[in-house]
Structure 1
Amino acid sequence: MQPLITPEDLAAQLDGDQPPVVLDVRWRLGGPPGADSYAEGHIPGAVFVDLDNDLAGEPGEGGRHPLPEPAALQAVLQAAGVRASRPVVAYDDADGSVAARAWWLLRWAGHPAPRVLDGGYAAWQAAGLPVESTVPQPERGDFVVRPGQMPVLDAEGAAELAREGVLLDARAHARYTGETEPVDPRAGHIPGAINAPFSEHVGADGRWRAPEELAAHFAELGVGDDTPVGAYCGSGVTATSVILALEVAGRSEPAALYAGSWSHWSRDPRRPVATGDQPG
């Protein structure tokens, strides 16, 4: 299934006999809270899901946004009305990188039909489609989480992939080079990783770039059809948009996610760090 859906197609499906479950996952690293934006207005029927509390485990040794425990994720998804028999569409109000986290977790959990709203909430509004502030009370879903349906890397696996395949660092260039590090203990990147900022997946209008453009983009980064590839970012959130973008580009095998990402790697002073423009 194509992982993206347009606002117009989503609106048509919401009027159909089997409407998808819609998850509002708006979130910003520096705030304001996505829940406040949701309360002001959201896609009709959408259920708010909080990244920090619902789509991640407790921060700590595993990083700032470790994968949630399967039972906890299942409870969240069932409360939102998620069923295996119905599609799920996630959206944010930025570049799709937070919605991609929900998409990836659903895939990891074994859901057969998650998608991301192309252009997010801004595209929905630009299309003149309705919004509401009413908080829905969805019928409890029956989706059963079966973890492990998407490949995941630990620190050792990420280091090996950086040597023997392609490990893509989804953070902004200044964080990759080590010029700045606003959140995590050390600045720089995993030696051998290639910078692939998640912001490059979308155009100026917030819509995802065409498949052929993304395919060319990743080819320039050294990703071939048979190249082992993985991704990481600051805490395992925006790296999922790299995995989504690779799928949009036509890659058949999903890329692996280093779930702990830089927030996990940088905690251990024994792990090497590279700085500058080159992978190192």
Structure 2
Amino acid sequence: MNVIISASELASELAGPNPPTLLDVRWQLSTAKAGGAAPFDGRAAYASGHVPGAVFVDLDADLAGPAGPAGRHPLPDLAHFGEAMRAAGVSARRPVVVYDGGQGWAAARAWWMLRWTGHPAVRVLDGGLAAWSGPVTTETEELVAGDFEPAPGALPLLDADGAAALARTGLLLDARAAERYRGDVEPIDPVGGHIPGAVSAPTTENVAENGRFRPAAELADRFKSLGVNDAAEVGVYCGSGVSAAHEVLALAVAGIPAALYVGSWSEWSAAGSRPVAAGPDPQ
């Protein structure tokens, strides 16, 4: 199954006899330090208008655990994740489509979580709600609980040691903005820079100006230029495992499997004892 779906394809499937379960995962990364602007309220955005039939899923509450030494968006408690997915109507034998406001990062995190825990058929709405030209509604439907039971391990996962090793033996991509990779700025985490050996590969360059993924062949060429080849294992990290999921999704569009380091830079830099590289050179 494809990992992304166009708005027109989604409209057709929603009008068909077996519509997919539809999840709204609107979320916005905040780079403000403590005392900054109030966080984006995805639930309020959902209430103000969503694709008919969609159910809201909270990234921070349902797709990640509490921030701490394991990172700002570590893996959630799987029992809670399973309960949240079943409450949203997710069943193992019914396809799922996820969307966010258009950036694609939150939807990719939901896609990755469901795929990692064994759901066989999950797609992301390419371009998110911004690409949707159909009706929106403020109404919610009565839900029938799903039967999805998480079984982790269906996609490759890295911890800090695994990411460090992969940077030496394969290809570790850093999905953050290039200035954060270089250590020129660091708006969130305590230390700037990157994991030694990692290659800068901002996930923002995987999409076109309209917010939709570049064609698969174009993505494949991009990743090849970054060092992806048939023999190399590929891993991805970012700040907290959200935008990296978007890059894992872009790699999947290009037909390239990749592991996700969920803890990412927020875990790596929090320890204070792990090596840090700065500047444009991987080492």
Question: In the aligned structure 2, how far is the partner of 1:226 from the partner of 1:68?
Answer: 32
The range that moved more, 86-95 or 165-174, is 86-95
Give percent identity, aligned residues only. Answer: 57
* Offset at residue 136 of structure 1 (A): 2.6
Runs of 4+ off more than 2 Å: none
Question: In the aligned structure 2, how far is the partner of 1:214 from the partner of 1:26?
Answer: 25
* Offset at residue 95 of structure 1 (A): 2.5
The correspondence for 1:272, drawn from 259, 266, 275, is: 275
Question: In the aligned structure 2, how far is the partner of 1:98 from the partner of 1:276?
Answer: 28
Question: In the aligned structure 1, how far is the partner of 2:249 from the partner of 2:57?
Answer: 19
Q: Does 1:33 align with 2:36?
A: no
Q: Does 1:144 align with 2:152?
A: no
Contact persistence 1:79–1:140 (CA under 8 A): yes
Contact persistence 1:95–1:202 (CA under 8 A): no
* Offset at residue 53 of structure 1 (A): 0.5
The correspondence for 2:230, drawn from 225, 230, 243, is: 225
**Secondary structure of 1:167 counterpart:** strand
**Secondary structure of 2:131 counterpart:** helix
Question: In the aligned structure 2, how far is the partner of 1:120 from the partner of 1:94?
Answer: 4
The correspondence for 1:56, drawn from 64, 86, 92, is: 64
Give the number of equivalent residue pairs: 275
Question: In the aligned structure 2, how far is the partner of 1:217 from the partner of 1:97?
Answer: 19
Gaps of 5+ in 2: 31-38
* Offset at residue 226 of structure 1 (A): 2.3
**CA-to-aligned-CA distance 1:219-266 (integer Å, 9 cap, x gap):** 000001221110000001110111111111122xx2111110000000
Gaps of 5+ in 1: none
Q: What is aligned with 1:113?
A: 121
* Offset at residue 32 of structure 1 (A): 2.1
Question: In the aligned structure 1, how far is the partner of 2:244 from the partner of 2:211?
Answer: 17
Q: What is aligned with 1:11?
A: 11
Counterpart residue type for residue 129 of structure 2: Y
Aligned residue runs from structure 1 range 42-121, under 5 A: 42-121=50-129
* Offset at residue 94 of structure 1 (A): 2.6
Question: In the aligned structure 1, how far is the partner of 2:207 from the partner of 2:128?
Answer: 11
Counterpart residue type for residue 118 of structure 1: D
Q: What is aligned with 1:243?
A: 248
Question: In the aligned structure 2, how far is the partner of 1:136 from the partner of 1:220?
Answer: 47
Question: In the aligned structure 2, how far is the partner of 1:153 from the partner of 1:161?
Answer: 9
Question: In the aligned structure 2, how far is the partner of 1:199 from the partner of 1:137?
Answer: 37
Contact persistence 2:102–2:131 (CA under 8 A): no
* Offset at residue 162 of structure 1 (A): 0.5
Q: Does 1:255 align with 2:258?
A: yes
Output the aligned Cα RMSD: 0.9
Counterpart residue type for residue 52 of structure 1: D
Q: Does 1:167 align with 2:172?
A: yes
**Secondary structure of 1:266 counterpart:** helix
Contact persistence 1:97–1:198 (CA under 8 A): no
Counterpart residue type for residue 246 of structure 2: S
Question: In the aligned structure 1, how far is the partner of 2:164 from the partner of 2:89?
Answer: 38
**Alignment TM-score, normalising by the size of structure 2:** 0.95
Contact persistence 2:65–2:75 (CA under 8 A): yes
Counterpart residue type for residue 186 of structure 2: E
**Secondary structure of 1:61 counterpart:** coil
* Offset at residue 39 of structure 1 (A): 1.1
The correspondence for 2:217, drawn from 208, 212, 220, is: 212
Aligned residue runs from structure 1 range 123-202, under 5 A: 123-124=131-132, 128-202=133-207
